[in-house]
Structure 1
């Protein structure tokens, strides 16, 4: 698919797109790219959506934000700005995986009239993780988050095999060679890699929030129903860490676990995951 460019929230976003109709905005996570949606975009297009998958802020070919903001509020603002720039309306849907799930929760709370339904995968609302995130087994899985708070992060993450090893651990048995190569192209420049690590530094406050996105960050009114999907073999965030997720989703939401799938469940089990998403959006 051809990569197009659009400016939103002061950032030049590279994006993939297919189809015509209501906007279906698909947001990727780490360490990944917009190409992660290669199985879903064609099927969304066939169902009458304009399916759009941007490269997230800092992920080439999207530009690195001049304000250096990577807090959740900035990602929420990006989603809403892309909705507007792409001509979205109240029939738009929002889909996100990993870091892309963060603005799903925030944008549907901050601007619920923009979105009809939403889908989040592999990362639940933060409230659902608070009781289990610091369990020993989960802390071992999350070593990279703490590594990324240090000055050694860029050196470690740029070493051959680091990104590939994350994919192997998070989705055991999945051949991620194509995906890892696409990530290498997107984050090969040190500035882009530092941007991707910046999400984690903002997450734990190692880099203080810019303050530009306080309203987006503080949004709490959850109205838009969300389908939450999680792989039962997820090696990044164990399924036991997300068991109470339904309690923290808006009324009318649904939770589904996908057997035989790890963290990148939409790539490992595309038929099953696509069917769940398309049925939810129908």
Structure 2
């Protein structure tokens, strides 16, 4: 493809895309997590461009203004994978290097399982293989870390509470309030403000929460399959949402070359460790990581 991809359509919805780097570079598709947009990758992408890669980062279902179907059924994993597969097909460049963080990682795992012909390599960030995550829920403290998933099932209240919290921080004239909010969320100021602007203020939050609400109406499906794609999983030691057990179990669900990378960071690896993460992605892409 010789032109920039600024959007694509699937299921009648239009998705925004950030397409950067050398047009003739090998494509790397970057899938964001919750509660973020394609802008999550703004610190990682330049380091991939320096290595000659072209990055394509979609703002996914529920987040793109033109792709906000109502009802949780529209956010089941098969629909999210369908979006990713359509984007890769739209590029017309053959299989891509696929990277996902958080929920984007879950979509990446499922895409690699359902469409191995579309994925050259997989780099999953934070979220382990779905079955490894499920097993970690009953063999570690992961269930306690995931209590918020149950809270997110409540209608209306989570989006109201989260939106109100972001707006309260913005309107407060007390630096201590903002400092406590950043400490609690483990975000930096730029990231916090971007989520407020791009997700809360645009009305995307209720739709983004549907990703969690759809979990109870659709099982892991194809995501239960082992992945043959060469894969690197990245976990961080200070992740408040995901424990080490899921990362350790993930190796059992990859039949191709596999490597686990552990970084000293919070859950927000793309913002905190962009240089190291770009290096890990590139190493998996060019096969030089030894895994």
TM-score of the superposed pair, with normalisation by structure 2: 0.82
Q: CA separation in 1, counterparts of 2:234 and 2:163? A: 30
More off after superposition, 120-129 vs 187-196: 187-196
Q: CA separation in 2, counterparts of 1:103 and 1:74? A: 10
Q: Superposition pairs for residues 128-143 of structure 1, below 5 Å?
A: 128-134=132-138, 137-143=141-147
SS of equivalent residue, structure 1 residue 88: coil
Offset of residue 40 of structure 1: 2.0
Which residue is 1:104 aligned to? 108
Task: Report whether the alignment pairs 1:25 with 2:29.
Answer: yes
Task: Report whether the alignment pairs 1:127 with 2:131.
Answer: yes
8 Å contact kept, 1:9–1:81:
no
Offset of residue 195 of structure 1: 0.8
Distance 1:109 1:241, change over 3 A: closer
Q: Superposition pairs for residues 186-205 of structure 1, below 5 Å?
A: 186-188=198-200, 191-203=203-215, 205=216
- Which of 220, 230, 235 is 2:235 aligned to? 230
Offset of residue 224 of structure 1: 0.9
8 Å contact kept, 1:28–1:34:
yes
Question: Is there any run of 5+ residues in structure 1 with no aligned partner, and where?
Answer: none
SS of equivalent residue, structure 1 residue 133: helix
Q: CA separation in 2, counterparts of 1:140 and 1:161? A: 24
Q: CA separation in 2, counterparts of 1:11 and 1:88? A: 22
- Which of 265, 270, 283 is 1:266 aligned to? 270
Offset of residue 54 of structure 1: 0.9
Q: CA separation in 1, counterparts of 2:255 and 2:105? A: 15
Q: CA separation in 2, counterparts of 1:229 and 1:166? A: 26
TM-score of the superposed pair, with normalisation by structure 1: 0.84
Q: Superposition pairs for residues 174-253 of structure 1, below 5 Å?
A: 175-188=187-200, 191-203=203-215, 205=216, 208-209=217-218, 217-218=221-222, 220=225, 222-253=227-258
8 Å contact kept, 2:63–2:204:
yes
Which residue is 1:12 aligned to? 14
8 Å contact kept, 1:32–1:179:
no
**Runs of at least 4 residues off by over 6 Å:** 162-167
Q: CA separation in 1, counterparts of 2:166 and 2:203? A: 19
Task: Report whether the alignment pairs 1:52 with 2:56.
Answer: yes
Q: Which structure has the greater CA radius of gyration?
A: 2
Question: Is there any run of 5+ residues in structure 2 with no aligned partner, and where?
Answer: 170-177, 287-291
- Which of 154, 158, 166 is 2:163 aligned to? 158
Distance 1:166 1:8, change over 3 A: farther
Q: CA separation in 1, counterparts of 2:90 and 2:27? A: 11
